[in-house]
Structure 1
Amino acid sequence: MSASFPDPGAPGGESVAVTLTKAGRVKIRYPAELVRDDGTRVSVRAPWAAPGVRDFGFVRFEPGDVLTEHYWRDRWFAVKEVRTGDGVLKGWYCDITRPAVLADGVLAVEDLDLDLWVSADGTSVLRLDEDEFDASGLAGRDPAAAGEAVRALDELERLARAGELTGLLA
């Protein structure tokens, strides 16, 4: 099934399938509402798609949570605003990814293991999964991509610590 998309910058409302791959396999696929596509950044909104509760210790993702996810065609990351079902901001979960591709109703994103968490009040900025990234072997297989991934994580952390992360989402 294929969906039609508005011209870049047109109002959203279309349905897309977000497909997140990791190490060549589909990690998760879920429906989302296309909120915005300006030709560079694609923003979608979707309920928490994984089954049950995922407790990371610093945040809990649970049924009813709503994520507004921002993907770029020219950047190596995605920023996901996480809110409870009644709209309370939990924070931002940032995935380091290859640039996103939107085609034929599918928003395809390749997860590169590195992540960043930023709490709602901005006081907690956590680099995540650096051990998984090291174990993935990406640096050996694709040194250029590994370099982009590390640079993207550093950029997001710098923006978060400076209180400028939300400026990316305006």
Structure 2
Amino acid sequence: MSALSVEVVLVKAGRTKISYAAELLADDGTHLVVRAPWAGDDARDFGFVRFERGDVFTEHYWRDRWYAVKEVRTGDGALKGWYCDITRPATLDGDKLTVEDLDLDLWVSADRSSVLRLDEDEFEASGLAARDPAAAEQAVQALDELELLAHKDELTALLTHSGSSDLR
């Protein structure tokens, strides 16, 4: 059985930020796993990691959690780390996987020596706390949860023990 193709659509502030094709690897009804190459046209250097052509992202989304976790590897398989997006729960409609980005992010280096909370200023400036306080609270709780998992070295367990059924 060949893997299914989906379009991942990342929405931010009501507009599509980026969309790209991905291979749906698993979906157990709650946890979805897709794989895609780096979707940017050019390399992007964040200072703590550089994403570039050839990088492969194995992305974990949940229908009941307020985050997505993306394992990032080089084209030859070397682990760079995990980029975690704080999002509303994912939705899959046909072959369209939609995720709403809530600005907060977390980076965990491959050797786990670096766990960085990112874009907290963007989150504050977004006004989500005023528009939707409950969503803002969920977002902050999700960031705290992922940071705790990263510091306890339990992030990979989250990704491997979520009960996903392989579609291949």
- Shorter-chain TM range is over 0.9
In the alignment, the residues of structure 1 paired with residue 154 and residue 27 of structure 2 have an alpha-carbon distance, to the nearest angstrom, of: 22
Cross-structure match for 1:5: none
Task: Give structure 1 stretches of 5+ with no counterpart.
Answer: 1-10
**SS, match of residue 78 in structure 1:** strand
Q: Aligned to 1:138, which of 118, 128, 137? A: 128
Higher RCO by CA contacts (8 Å cutoff, separation 6 or greater) = 2
Q: Does residue 1:58 correspond to 2:42, yes or no?
A: no
The answer to whether the Cα contact below 8 Å between 1:77 and 1:95 also exists between their aligned partners in 2 is yes
Q: Does residue 1:95 correspond to 2:85, yes or no?
A: yes
The residue type paired with residue 121 of structure 1 is D
In the alignment, the residues of structure 2 paired with residue 114 and residue 66 of structure 1 have an alpha-carbon distance, to the nearest angstrom, of: 22
**SS, match of residue 122 in structure 2:** helix
Deviations 1:27-69 (A, max 9, x none): 0000000000011100000000011110000000000000000
Normalising by structure 1, we get a TM-score of: 0.93
State the identity %: 74
Task: Give structure 2 stretches of 5+ with no counterpart.
Answer: 161-168
In the alignment, the residues of structure 2 paired with residue 105 and residue 45 of structure 1 have an alpha-carbon distance, to the nearest angstrom, of: 14
The residue type paired with residue 156 of structure 2 is T
In the alignment, the residues of structure 2 paired with residue 41 and residue 49 of structure 1 have an alpha-carbon distance, to the nearest angstrom, of: 22
In the alignment, the residues of structure 1 paired with residue 103 and residue 41 of structure 2 have an alpha-carbon distance, to the nearest angstrom, of: 20
Deviations 1:112-148 (A, max 9, x none): 0000000001110000000000000000000000000
Normalising by structure 2, we get a TM-score of: 0.94
**SS, match of residue 42 in structure 2:** coil
**SS, match of residue 67 in structure 1:** strand
CA deviation after TM superposition for structure 1 residue 155, in Å: 0.2
Deviations 1:58-107 (A, max 9, x none): 00000000000000000000000000000000000000000000111000
Q: Aligned to 1:75, which of 52, 65, 68? A: 65
In the alignment, the residues of structure 2 paired with residue 46 and residue 16 of structure 1 have an alpha-carbon distance, to the nearest angstrom, of: 10
In the alignment, the residues of structure 1 paired with residue 157 and residue 124 of structure 2 have an alpha-carbon distance, to the nearest angstrom, of: 30
The answer to whether the Cα contact below 8 Å between 1:12 and 1:34 also exists between their aligned partners in 2 is no
CA deviation after TM superposition for structure 1 residue 161, in Å: 0.4
In the alignment, the residues of structure 2 paired with residue 28 and residue 12 of structure 1 have an alpha-carbon distance, to the nearest angstrom, of: 25
In the alignment, the residues of structure 1 paired with residue 32 and residue 2 of structure 2 have an alpha-carbon distance, to the nearest angstrom, of: 10
In the alignment, the residues of structure 2 paired with residue 163 and residue 146 of structure 1 have an alpha-carbon distance, to the nearest angstrom, of: 26
